[in-house]
Every structure is written in C-alpha cells, then in structure tokens.
Chains A and B, each alone.
Chain A
Amino acid sequence: MSVTLDIKLKRANKVYHEGETVAGVVTLCCKEPLQHNGIALSMDGIVNLQLSSKSVGVFEAFYNSVKPIPLISSSIEVAKAGKIPGGKTEIPFEFPLISKGNKVLYETYHGVFVNIQYTLRCDLKRPLLAKDLSRSCEFIVHSQPQKSKIVPTPVKFSITPETLQNVRERSQLPLFLIRGHLDATSCVISQPLTGEVQVDKSDVPIKSIELQLVRVETCGCAEGYARDATEIQNIQIAEGDVGHGMPIPVHMVFPRLFTCPTLETTNFKVEFEINVVVILQDDHLITENFPLKLCRV
C-alpha cells in the first residue's frame, strides 16, 4: 500500500517574513483508506555552525562542532488518530511565524560554516508493522527590512603596479592602468551589484576580468573564534583582450540562499566581500578587494 505525503506551501516562492503566517496544505495520496495514529506538523528554525578544519584540528572540527542554535520551534497536530479515506486528501494548516522571546529570526542562509535554515516537517504515525512517514520542506525567511536609511557609499578604484601589495618582484610587473568604480558597497541584496571597470592601459593583453563574490564566516566558540573566507560565485565580465578605454559594466546578481544581509551576532558573523580579479595573458593575477555590506529593504 503506497502512501505519499507532501507539504505544499501557499506561496510559490516560499518566502515569509517574521509575523506572517506560513500557510499551506498537507496532501496525502493513497489508494485505499489509511489507518493512522495522528499527523503532526512541526516548524523549526536553527542555525548550524561548523568549525573549519583549518582553524582547529580535523578531529576537533568533527567533535567540537558548535551546538546548533534554535531560532523557532513549534508543532501542532494536524489530524487526530483515525482513518483517512482513499484518494487525495488535503489538510490545510497555518503557522504563525513569530519568534519566542527576544530571539531574532535571521534570514535564511546556506553557507559553508554557517547555515540558517527553516523547515516544516510533517510526521504521520502509523500503527504497528507500518513505517511512520515523514516529510520535510524548507521555507525561506527574509528578515524585516532595515529601518535605517542605506547610504550607498560608492567607491572608486584605480589599479597600477604601484598600488599592489603582496608582490614578490615588482620589477617584472608589466605596466597597466585599470580604473573603475562600484556604484555602492552598501548593497541592497535584491538589487544587482553594479559599477564599471575600464582598462586604460596594459602592456600585456588582458586574458579575463572576473568578479568574485566571497563570504566571510566567523564562528565563535569556547576556544576562540574561526574566520573563513570562501568563494560563492565567480562571474566573468570580460574575456580576451578588451578594447582600451571602454567602460566594461560590472554587474552581479546576488544569488539567493547563498547570500543574506550582513549578519553580526554574538556567536557568529556572516559578511561578504567582492574581488575584482584581472588576469593577464602571462597569468599575472591582479585582485582588488572590496568589503560589502548587504541589507534588505
């Protein structure tokens, strides 16, 4: 006897804000009437922290992972023990999305060392000899819009051999002048990052210009804190020997789930940076780094 259990949210994009009601239906599909011992639905929101093996030892990383931080947890009984008729049954439900106490509902974020995730979980208990069924479904929480006004703080940059740090042999560097600007370093997460890059001069032809979006995750724990920067995505904005003096647009859409408004709590931090990477045809790699502040309006 096959039963399928599914949770369907009313909103197609599954995005909810604090204070709203998460509504949807639990659907059950079975050919014959189904005996059960109750259907329960629970909503959980947790922050998972993991220490990177770089900051602490491999084993410590495994054992010492920081305890998850619960953000929200509640459950309701959707149906009492009984029988469900054959065919398709839809049981509607509603959950108010309200945090307990003074806890803040952080925005959903999928990272490497920090994960903030909200799930709905439906359990169907069945009598002896039949396996209990369960189904979970992630929904996305967007934090409340920021109240304070955002100052875009544009930034101009100009890269020449002289401005570089971390150079081993400065004398071997070819001559180049790359200028540009970012329209904002305080970005609205739903708007793309924009700006322009312009190659004014370069002795060696350009091979590629890329935008690298980097997350910087910091986890605090008993032993101190670990801070790690990893790449989220890398987008090429120029390929080959681009024309000199022509402004090339910088444009990057912040990927959903993998970015969230810059977050700073007592236990962990999630920050973002952008790298403008210029690769020359002789494989010189020139990087200019800009910290970003993401927020939601």
Chain B
Amino acid sequence: MASVQWRSRGRNYEAELQRCHPEGLPVEFGDYHPLKPIMVTDTKTRRGARKGSTSSSSSSSSSAPVDPLSSMLDGTDPLSMFAATETSAAASHSSSVGDLGRKRRVKEEEALGADFEPWSTKRGEILARFTTTEKLSINLCMGSDRGKAPNPGSSAVSEKVRTRLEELDDLEEGSHRELLNLSQQDYANRIEELNQSLKEAWSSDQKVKALKIVIQCSKLLSDTSVIQFYPSKFVLITDILDTFGRLVYDRIWTMCSDPRPLPDSFTVEDVNDTAKETCLNWFFKIASIRELLPRLYVEAAILKCNRFLSKSGIQETLPRLTAMIRGMGDPLVAAYARAYLCRVGMEVAPHLKESLNANVFDLLATFRQISGDSVQKQLHLQKVEVPAYLMLYSPAINWILQCVAYRAPEPLLTEMMERCKMMANNALLLNSIMRAFRPEFVATRATDFIGMIKDCDESGFPKHLLYGSLGRSLACADPPESERLTILNEAWKVITKVRNPQDYMNCAEIWVEFTCRHFAKREVNTVLADIIKHMTPDRAFEEAYPQLQSVIRKILTYFHDFSVLFSMERFLPFLDMFQKDSVRVEVCKSIMEVFIKHQLELTRDPVILNAMLHICKTMHDSVNALTLEDEKRSLALLIIGFIRMVSFGRDFEQQLSFCVEARATFCNLEPVLVQLIHTVNQLAMETRMVMKGNHSRKTAAFVRACAAYCFITIPSLSSIFSRLHLYLLSGQVALANQCLSQADAFLKAAVSVLPEVPRSISVEGKLRSSESFLLDFINNFLATLLVVPDHPEHGVLYLVRGLLNMVQDYTWEDNSDAKVRIYISALPLLAAMSQETYLYSIHKVDSNETLYGGDPKFLSEINKLCETLIGQILDHLKTLTRDEQSMRRQSALAFSLFGVLLAHGDLKNNKLSQLSINLWNLSHKHGHSETRVSIRTLESIRHQAQRPDMAHLSDTIQRLALQSRT
C-alpha cells in the first residue's frame, strides 16, 4: 500500500465566512431563465391554411399570448362548422330535435326556480320505499272489453278511416296478454320494455300503436291489487307517459319548425295549419278513449301541446281535468292522478295556481272515502293495515302540497291549515302539510301544530310520524324563542312513549337536531339519557346504528366546545351503545375529525383528555392484523392530531407522564409512537429553553428522564430508518441538554443498529434500494460526530472508528461505491476535527477541541485514520478498471476525492499535492469527466490561489491539465 501522508489544511472559519461576502448577488432578470414560462408573442393563425394558398400564414402579433388551439377554433374549425350545420339542417331528424326539446324543457324548469324540489328527486325515493315481495301481474288486453263493434263498417266509410277506427277501438285480439307472477323487478323490466316499444313504435311511425301502449299502461294504474306497490307502479308508468308527452310535443314542434325552428316563446299564430290539425287529431283521439283513467292520464301527458292550439288551452284544460278526477272511485288512484296532474301542471304552467288549489280541496273531500266500505273491504282482502295504507298516500299528497306551497302567499297556507282543522285534523293531511310547507311557516306555528297533532285521533296514522315531520321542519327553521322549550317538552312527551325502538329512534333522531340547535348541554344530555333508556333493553341499539350515528353527527355539528360536550354525563354512555366494532370506530373517527378541526387551542382539561384518550383508545384497539394499511394510517393521523393538542403548559412532568400513558395506550400504531418521541424531545428542548441552557439539578434529571423515555421507546419501532433517525435526533437533543452519556448511548445504539439495515426497503409499496437513504443518514451522523466528545473510558475517536468499522463490515451491494463514498465523506469530518477551533459547538458541551487541546498525538491519530481511509479508497479505485461502466465510476470517485483533498487537505505537502494531481489525471484519463465541471474547478482553484496563504495552489494548477476533447 502506497502510504499517503495526510495533513489537514488549517482553517480559519471566521475569516472564510467573511470572505464569502454575505451581501447577495443581484439576480438579473430578463435574461434567460429555465423556469421562466415560455411566452409566445407571435402567433401565426392557420386560417384558411387548408386551402393551400401561399399567403395563408398571416402573422399577427398580439400583446396577449394567443393559445394556438383556441385560435384554431373560432369558426373555421371544420368540426364545429359541421356541428353547426347539423343542428340547423337536421332539425327534421327526430332524435336531435328530442335533444333540443329536452334543452328547452330544462330551461323552462329553471323558470320554476331552483328552490322547487323536482320530481326526479322524489322518484328514486318512492321506488326504494314502496316495494313488495308479492307477485304482480300486468294485464295488457289490447282488445279491452269492447267486444261489440259499434261500427259494422259500412262501405261508405273510407278504408283508411275505418282501419284507424278499428285499431283504436278494438285492437288486435292476439295482443291480449296477461302476465302473471311477476316479481317486482320483472314488473319494472316489463314496464321498461313497454317504454322501449313505445319509442320504437313511434320512430317507426306507428303512432296508433304508440297510443295504444300508452293507453294500456295508464290502464294499469286503475289496478290496485298489491296495493303496497302502487306508488312505485305510479312512478314507473308515469315515466312512460312522460316519454309519450315528450314525443308528441316534439313531433308537432318539428312540424312547425320547417323553415326555421320555432322560438321558445312561440304563440298560436306561429303554428302552421298542418301542425294544428295533427295536434287537434291527437286531442280528438284521446277524447274518445272509453275509460276514464287512461283518458285523463293521456290528456294530462300531452297537456303541453295545448300551446299549439290556443293561448288559453292549458288554462281551460287543467280545471276540467281536475274536476274529471272526481269520477275516480278509488281514493288512492285519485290522489295519484292528482299528483300527476299537479306535476304536469307545474311543469307546463307553474303560474296556474287555481287548479292546484282545487286539487287539494277535492283531495280533502275524498278523505271520507278512505274509511268507506269499499276501501276497508279491499284492505281486508289484501291484508294491509290501515297505517301502512295511509302511508301509501304520503308521496302523492306531499307532492301536491309541495306544488301548492311553492311560493304561495301566507294567507293561502293559513287557509289550507284551517281546512285541515276542519277535516277533524286528519293526521295524514297534517303530516303532509308539515312536510310540504315552508319550514319557516311551520316553525312559527309550531305550537298550533302541536295542538293539532294532539287532537288527531290515534287510530290510523301513528303520531310519532307526525312529530317526526314537525321535527324535520323545526330543524331547518326557528320557532319563536319563547315557545321552544314548550315545544320540546310537548314533543318529547310523546316521543318517549313510543314503544317500538325503531320508530322511537327515527323520531328521536330528528328531534335531536332541534334540541342541539336551540338548547344547551342540559337538555341534550336529557335527550341522550332518554335515548339510552329506550335503546338499551333487548339491545335494541343493534338495529339502529345509522340513526344513533346520525345523532352523534348532529350533536357534533352544534357542539364544538369539547369540554362542554364531554361534561355531558350521558355522552360517553351513549357512545358505549355502539358495540359493533366497525360502527364504533366510525363514530370515534367522526368525533376525532371534529375535534381536530374545531379544537384550536392546546388543552389540559382533564375531562377532555380522559374522554379523548378513551375514544382514541377505542380506535387504537380496533387495529388488528387484518386492518388495512390505509386505515391504520388514518387512525394514527387522528390520534396524532389529538396528542398534538395536548399541552400542560409549564407542567412538563405531567406532560411526560401523559406521554408515558399514551405510549402504553397506543403501542400498536407506530406513527403515534414516533410522534410521542418527537413530543418528548420537544419537551426536553423546551425545558432547556426555559432554563436558558443552564439546567438545575431538577431539570437535568427531567431531561434525562426524557432521554430515557426516548431510549426505551425507539427500539419498539419496526421501521429501521425511523429508529436510526430518532436515535440520532434524540442523541442530538441529549447532547444539547448536556446529557453526555445518554447522547453517547443513543449514538452507539444507532451505530449498532446500522448492520441491521436491509439492502432494500419498501417505499410507498415499492421495493427500493436502501443505499441512498443509508448514505444520507451516515452523512448526517458524521456531521453530528464533530461535536460529540470522546468517551473517557474508550479510545480516541471511538465513535468515528466504530462507525467506520461498521461501514466496512456492512454487506454493501455488489458493484457499489457506497462504502468508498462514506470514506470520502469521512475525510472532511476528520479534517474538521483536527482544527484548533471547531466549526460549530454546543453550548456548555466541551468537544474534542477543548478535551485534547490540539494534542499532537490526537492529531496524528486523526492523520493516521485519514491515511488508512485514503489507502482504502485508492485500493478501490484500482479495482475499477474492468469495463466502461467501472471506469466511469472510477473517474467520478477520483474526482470527488480530488475535491476533498483540495478543500480539506494541506496541498503544501508535496505528497498530497502529487496525489491530488494523480487523482485529477485519473479522473480525466478515460474522458469520462465533465469538462464543464473541470473548467469550473480550475477557475475556482485559480481564484483561491490568489490568496496569499494559498499561493502554493498556483503550482498545482500548472500541473492540472485539461484533457483535450477527442
């Protein structure tokens, strides 16, 4: 081994710092900068470029940058041009017109106002709510019961007219079919099939067939067998009617848009005769439908077409249709027919309120029939209970009342209420009124409503549903201040008497919101207590988790002060009702989220701490082997959020004991442990700050305790790099707090852990080499070692040697220069250690500089170590000659060693100087060096050589030859 003599260059750090003239260099703007956005200031529009004319690229310079894509699109774009012509020319194409029609419709619905809840939102709700397991049947007798043909076809009737008539009157005998035993899903599918065949028939110009389908479908609505399913059936079938209405309207609309499309606000004068005649034909055809129900529904479906015929058509038709519904004997069928009429009416002419009101009044008049014999007989036959039957009305009545109440003046609503009172407070109606009318309206009269609810007869409609509806309104609008408590008392009196836990819970859940909104802790606590009392027997809570969860959610939206929240006696017992693990954790998480969001101040409130610890512990305890990584992460994040909010102020000891407790509680979540270690380290540093760096005996003991806490916590972490970093950090903290032996122990532990570092670790699910992480860590570690004083019982540079030995023994990856790179980076450390004053030091900690005081023995020890390292490096360099790849590595390594020598070695020493020149040459030998870097390096050396104490460098420069480029 060619022994190299190391001499560290003497450094005067302060002088160097001053030389580095701290005044910043002005950065010149306007020059090229790689991060400056590319601005296009001169664009060439490609207008007409396709024509191939030579002068096509007219250049236009604009101040604002023009997006070349958008400039392509202004009008000349072939695609948009094509689309434009298509929309105007293909207006006759029915499908595209359908789209247009739809757009128009959307616009008109907007005229209704966004505050009107549209039918589409109710649709799904009804379908989901009214279901049945019973078998259904579709009776599509296209022939109907019209056996007797009234027209014994006289020869005089023209052929066409006669066939039309026959088709309309009695339809093909063969198409009579009855589908029995359909499940609900089958039924829906069948109806959808009919919807499809309606569209098909329409598009293949079989208008009569289309009408037939619609008539047959609406006839199904008079069938009230399987009555539980009726509301859903209504939804399905009115979909078909809507389709039909749209088809007819769009077709007639197309007929009048021959030269150009009809404006949205067209009048009768704009409609041509053919369109009028067609429209009239439809109305005549529909007027001759025999049965009442189809006639009504189909006419309602094409109500909008009245616009083509006369201005007042809709206005005249609506009251007539409203009156027509009186002919329907079955009150349920009638109610839904009214709902449909109101729906169409609102869509087509929202300003016509009179017929809506008339509908309500007629509806009220039919309520007597519900208790009539025919209905009762039917219910008995189908084995349906009266309350369940009454519930079937609610969607229809709700809808009708919603239409009426929409932007209705106050007196009208009051009148409705009075009428309802006259109906002996019919519960069904009352319920719908509370649901449909504006919450503000209901809220101001809440006391009246309570009175009315009280007066309702118990039979039929359960009262808790009424209170539920009332509660829903009160949750959105505020009743008068003075009445609030009475309202709550009255309502809760009834609610608490509800026997069925499910019913009770549904109602209570609604009223919790009202309670939280207007009352304080005490009332909410009472409510919670009542809920617990009801839900505990027979473990009824198991069936009501969603509602219970919603109770918690509501409380959390109104109570953000957690000291108040947790001082509710019943809150934690309430939480105990969540006994299913998944729900329990869910609830805890939601509480934690609110806590983190709304708890802005650090807290030491024992009530909060205890409760939160309990909640966090619940979350923590849910973690098991099957818990997903993401789930763990989110739980850990929430718990960390809590830990960060805990502060005992100057009472550091209590904080530490909290951390001890937390560690015991959350031992399964590593991120939490990491956070705890950070918290404790921070605690130690805060203590130091409070003592201004001079620990008393008591504080010294305390910081040692902190160090001990960290020291025993770190090994329980599984992630090796967390462990390493925390050892280092804790060591630094210990050093800062003058706990030398603790710091020593931390660093020693870190070194002893190093061999365990695996060659590859998983980062974000991918396996990656750990080498770069390890290099980073060791460099960081080396920097710390400068200030760590040697242990009196161990030899000189005990830790450095230990580290380097460890590095040597570590099984590095094959073909890796990591080891040598560490050696190279250890050289600056050793050079720094041999200075008279160190670059940095820790207050009240004597580093080696003071311990050894520049003892030559110490220095020679360092030099020896350096020499060994350089020897090792050179040996390694020698092996790197095999192929192109290794030569490249050789060049890079040699250059970095050269750099180190230049910066830290004393090049006055001839041997070192020679070595550096050799290294330079080696790095340039095979042309793998970067010329630019080499040039910069030379410049820098030249610059340094100008300084008097570095004059020797000028000799060296002479000998550093830049390799000419081959």
Contact = CB atoms under 8 A, between A and B. Distances in A.
Pairing of A with B = yes
Interface of A: 11-13, 48, 50, 110-113, 115, 117, 138, 192, 205-206, 209, 230-243, 246-249, 251-253, 255-257
A281 B331 CA distance: 17
Nearest to B328: A239
A112 B290 CA distance: 20
A241 B329 contact: yes
The 7 closest A-B pairs by CB, nearest first: A240-B329, A115-B156, A238-B327, A12-B273, A253-B287, A241-B329, A241-B374
Contacts of B323: 247-249
B154 A115 contact: yes
Given A253-B287, A257-B161, A235 B295 contact: yes
A21 to B, nearest CB: 17
A209 B328 CA distance: 10
Interface of B: 148, 150-152, 154-158, 161, 222, 272-274, 276-277, 280, 283-284, 287-293, 295, 320, 323-324, 326-331, 333, 362, 365-366, 368-369, 372-374
A297 to B, nearest CB: 18
A191 B320 CA distance: 14
Contact of B156 (A48, A205, A238, A239): A48
Contact of A243 (B277, B295, B368): B368
A112 B152 contact: yes
Contacts of B366: 243, 246
A112 B154 contact: yes
A242 B368 CA distance: 11
Contacts of B152: 112
Contacts of B283: 253
B374 A205 contact: yes
B154 A241 contact: no
Contact of A205 (B284, B291, B327, B373): B373
Given A115-B156, A206-B329, A243 B369 contact: yes
Nearest to A138: B158
Contacts of B289: 235
A230 B150 contact: yes
Contact of B274 (A12, A112, A238): A12
Given A13-B277, A112-B151, A239 B327 contact: yes
Nearest to A238: B327
B369 A241 contact: yes
Contacts of A247: 323, 326
A13 B284 CA distance: 13
A241 B152 CA distance: 33
A232 B284 contact: no
B365 A249 contact: no
29 contacts: A12-B274, A12-B276, A48-B155, A48-B156, A110-B154, A111-B154, A112-B151, A112-B152, A205-B374, A233-B150, A235-B295, A236-B292, A237-B292, A237-B327, A238-B329, A239-B328, A240-B329, A240-B374, A241-B329, A241-B374, A243-B366, A243-B369, A247-B326, A248-B327, A249-B324, A249-B326, A252-B287, A253-B284, A255-B287
B150 A239 contact: no
Contacts of A249: 320, 323-324, 326-327
A68 to B, nearest CB: 9
Contacts of A48: 154-156
A238 B320 contact: no
A255 B369 CA distance: 34
Contact of B290 (A232, A235, A240, A251): A235
A13 B273 contact: yes
Interface of A, secondary structure class, is: strand
B329 A236 contact: no
Nearest to A119: B158
B310 to A, nearest CB: 13
Contacts of B291: 236, 239
Nearest to B287: A253
Nearest to A235: B290
Given A235-B295, A243-B369, A256-B284, 15 more contacts: A12-B272, A12-B274, A12-B277, A110-B154, A117-B156, A117-B158, A138-B158, A205-B329, A206-B329, A235-B289, A236-B290, A243-B329, A243-B365, A249-B323, A255-B284
A234 to B, nearest CB: 6
Contacts of A115: 154, 156-157
Contacts of A252: 287
Contact of B288 (A50, A231, A255): A255
Nearest to A215: B150
A269 B716 CA distance: 112
A251 B324 contact: yes
B731 to A, nearest CB: 91
A238 B150 contact: no
Which of A113, A138, A251, A256 gathers most chain B CB within 10 Å? A251
B327 A242 contact: yes
Nearest to B331: A243
A110 B161 contact: yes
Contacts of B158: 117, 138
Contacts of A257: 161
A169 B761 CA distance: 103
Nearest to A47: B156
Contacts of A239: 222, 291-293, 327-330
A239 B284 CA distance: 21
A242 B328 contact: yes
Nearest to A113: B154
Nearest to B280: A13
Which of A11, A243, A247 gathers most chain B CB within 10 Å? A243
A215 to B, nearest CB: 10
Contacts of B329: 205-206, 238-243
A243 B370 CA distance: 10
Nearest to A253: B287
A251 B288 CA distance: 11
Nearest to B375: A241
A230 B154 CA distance: 13
Contacts of B331: 243
Contacts of A237: 292, 324, 327
Contacts of A236: 290-292, 295, 327
B337 to A, nearest CB: 11
A236 B330 CA distance: 15
Nearest to B324: A249
A112 B154 CA distance: 6
A241 B328 CA distance: 8
A11 B277 CA distance: 10
Contacts of B333: 240
A211 B293 CA distance: 15
Which of B151, B284, B288, B295 gathers most chain A CB within 10 Å? B288
Contacts of B154: 48, 50, 110-113, 115
B324 A246 contact: no
A131 to B, nearest CB: 20
Contact of A238 (B148, B222, B288, B292): B292
A205 B375 CA distance: 11
Contact of A242 (B155, B288, B326): B326
B171 to A, nearest CB: 16
A106 to B, nearest CB: 13
A231 B146 CA distance: 12
Contact of B150 (A205, A206, A232): A232
Contacts of B155: 48
A240 B330 CA distance: 6
Nearest to B224: A240
B393 to A, nearest CB: 15
B395 to A, nearest CB: 21
A90 B338 CA distance: 51
A283 to B, nearest CB: 14
Contacts of B328: 238-240, 242
Given A237-B292, A246-B365, A110 B330 contact: no
A280 B330 CA distance: 15
A209 B291 CA distance: 10
A251 B320 contact: yes
B485 to A, nearest CB: 43
Nearest to A209: B327
